[in-house]
Structure formats: C-alpha cells, structure tokens
Amino acid sequence: MNGILPLWKTKGMTSHDCVFKIRKLFQTKKVGHTGTLDPEVEGVLPICIGQSTKIVPFLTETNKTYIAELKLGVATDTEDAHGKVIEEETVNKFPAERQIEEVLNGFIGEITQVPPMYSAVKVNGKKLYEYARANQVVERPTRQVKIFSISNVFIRPEENSISFHVVCSKGTYIRTLCVDIGKKLGYPAHMSGLKRTQVASFTQQEAITLEQVEERLKTTQPSSLLLPAQRGLEHLEHLQVDEETAVKVRNGQKLLKPDKILKEPFVIMFKNELLAIYQTHPEKPAEIKPVRVFNG
C-alpha cells in the first residue's frame, strides 16, 4: 500500500497524533507527515504511506499557503493567541487600508526572520521552547525565508484584526510575520488565527479529516483513499525514459547525463510509473545517480 493521504488536520491534534492514528487505521508502520502543524492550527497535512515515505524530504521543501489573522494591540510570549500577554497598547487609531497594503507589500520577497522562542528550532542541541520553558535567554539564529504573495486582505477595525492569504517558502513562521507586520504598523501584535490551505499541489478542497477517513474505511479499501506518490513531486522537473532505460533506473543504476538541462533533483518516469529521483553524480559530472528509487 503506497500513496499520499491528503489529510485535513483538525485543531487539538499534533502532527504526530495524526501519524499514530493513520498507522492504526491503515495497519502499517511506514507512515510519515510532511511538515509539522501546531496543535491549535488546522489545515492540509499530506501523509505519506509505504514507498511514498521516500518523498517526505522533497515534499517538506515545498511552498505552503495559509490564511492568517493578526491582532493589533497585544503581544504574547508565544506570538500567537495561546501565550502569555507580554505587551499591550490601545489601538486608538486603526491603520488606514492604504498603509496596511503598503506594509504588507513590503514583506513580499526574501525576508529575514528571528524564530519564536516557543519553536522547535535548535540552538546548541536544545530546542528553543526548552530554553523558553526554563526561562533561559539564548541568542536566536536568523533565517532567510521567502514570501511569494500576500493577498485577500480583510480588515476588521472593530476587532483590531487583519486577515490575509500568504504563500511562503518552507521554514516561514507566520506567527513571526504577524508580529513583524504589527511592528511596522506601530503596534504590538500576535497571530490570532491560522489555517493552512495548501502544501505543494495538495489543496484544502481535496483534503479529508480523520473522521472522514474512518467513515470511508467502513465501506472501501484503504488504498482507494490514497493519491499517487508523483502528486507530491509535481514541483520537481520530470524526465520520461524508454523501457530499456526504465529497467536500469529500477535497478538503481547510474546513467549518462541527459542532454536536456533539468533543475535538480528531478523525477524519472516511464509512462505513468514513478521510477526514481535522480541528480548529478557528485564525483562524475557526466553522470546522474539515484537519490530515491521506487520499487512499485
């Protein structure tokens, strides 16, 4: 049983909880998720099963789409609505729509973020949230992330809130983005709500909840709920090969580099069959070697 379950994670569950539950429902140990979602956040969480677990690192590298809401006037230690209030300021004059648009547009492109203290980023072998819980101060490393777009901006002055859709690179902290937007608007802020609506090509429209999975498994086979592994690799370039080459690829052999210039790593397909992921051989630039081989 191989494929990807387009799961919609509901609030209150950790990503690991979802993996544990899917292992039991599908009666298999080979299960992996493709990017952690905080327990209080709902959204798309593709779950890889069987051979498809081989693509987890490639899927976690993809862009994500969120609907975020920030609230002006209150900052918390966790940068979201579940933390302790550390700063408050009355929003006497809610920013004008034009000012909000200008500030949001200023975040599009490559930006530098400082991860929240309540995050899993490691410093000297310890996660930042471990330092935070122990009330220890530690210097946080900066990271470069990319904001591809911010759209569908909706403001609620009576609630001091701004919501928006954001498409961003792997590793972006939306909590931190909300805090930084607030600073630019002149107020303390926190992320008051978050929903992940897309991971790579997996969308909210096709995602199903664990409850729906359980219900469908009463009348259908588990494999019928899974999407093919190549759905998780649509962001990579594809190379179609002939039958003779396909045999070599299935056996994990090195190949001569194709004439066609491809962005690496790239996927090798034979007709509709996903065979492998290849990249240039590190010591032999005229050859390509497998990074992952899929055995049916």
- Active-site amino acid positions: 38
Look at residue 293 and give its three-state secondary structure: strand
Contact 32, 197 (CB under 8 A): no
Contact 140, 128 (CB under 8 A): yes
Where is 247: in which H helix or E strand? Answer: helix 243-250
d(CA 213, CA 22): 9
Indicate the DSSP class of residue 30.
-
d(CA 42, CA 45): 9
d(CA 201, CA 189): 31
Indicate the DSSP class of residue 170.
T
Q: How many residues would you count in the chain?
A: 296
